[in-house]
Amino acid sequence: MSKSIMVSAEGLDTSQDSTVELALAGGTPQHFGWYRFYFDDERWEWSPEVARIHGYEPATVTPTTRLVLSHKHPEDYEQVAANLEDIRRSLKPFSTRHRVITVQGATRDVVVIGERMHDNAGRVIGTQGATSMSRPPVRPERRSLPKRSPRSQRTGPRSSRRRAFLCWSIASSPTPRSTC
């Protein structure tokens, strides 16, 4: 079901479904959104969610190539700028993982995927896709156990039994290491 969206002068031709559009149709959490980039006039469109990923309130800024690149982490800037140039040249789908610096100065890890966007004549006129904040894997919650004193400081019948077992194990081994 990987079709491209057809775009005419009037806008989006909804007669064709896109994988991205279908993925977004079920609802979009705040950390996942869509974008479109038109090659000829360097025009960008992005969803309210992508605006929020960059730290903006929806509809408060018009995205441009310069603005988009200005939010890239300094260590990722060259890679992202090169990818963008490669996308324009090769017209191929892509995916990238990089960091975004928000308006507020927070660093966010994002994953961006893109597919070709065609006009009614079938020419590639841009790229469209999804941007998602990637999150570190969630670790299972660990039960916190009560703090216990180190073994060397434990006393009582249980610790005595452990020490006796360890002494017996050491003494019974083929090469006894020390005495208890």
For 89-139, what is each residue's pLDDT tens digit? 999 999 999 999 999 999 999 999 999 999 999 999 999 999 999 865 445
Domain covering 6-133 in this structure, CATH number: 3.30.450.20
Confidence of residue 6 (pLDDT cuts 50, 70, 90): very low
**158 vs 5, residue with greater confidence:** 158
Q: pTM of the entire structure?
A: 0.60
CA–CA distance, 14 with 110 (Å, rounded to integer): 28
The predicted pLDDT at position 134 comes to: 82
CA distance 135 to 109: 7
pLDDT of residue 17: 47
SS3 12: strand
Residue 1 has pLDDT above 50, yes or no: no
171-176, Cβ contacts within 8 angstroms, sequence gap of 24 or more = none
So where are the chain's domains? 6-133, 151-180
pLDDT given at position 148:
60
pLDDT of residue 168: 46
Say which amino acid occupies 145: L
- Looking at residue 3, its pLDDT comes to 38
pLDDT digits (tens, 9 = 90+) for 18-64: 545 544 545 434 488 999 999 999 999 999 999 999 999 999 999 99
Pairing of strands 107-119, 94-101: antiparallel
- How would residue 69 be classed by pLDDT, with cut points 50, 70 and 90? very high
Of 118, 93, 114, residue with least CA distance to 8: 118
Nearest alpha carbon to residue 68 among 77, 57, 60, 59: 77
Q: Which helix (H) or strand (E) holds 25?
A: helix 19-25
Is residue 8 pLDDT above 90, yes or no? no
Instruction: Report d(CA 164, CA 154) in Å as an integer.
Output: 14
Burial tier of 52 (Cβ tally within 10 Å: 0-12, 13-18, 19+): middle
The pLDDT of residue 52: 94
Ranges of beta strands (E only) in the chain are: 6-8, 11-13, 32-38, 43-46, 94-101, 107-119, 124-133
Instruction: Tell me the per-residue pLDDT of 129-175, one tens digit each, with 9 for 90 and over.
Output: 999 998 654 454 555 555 665 555 555 555 555 555 444 444 544 55
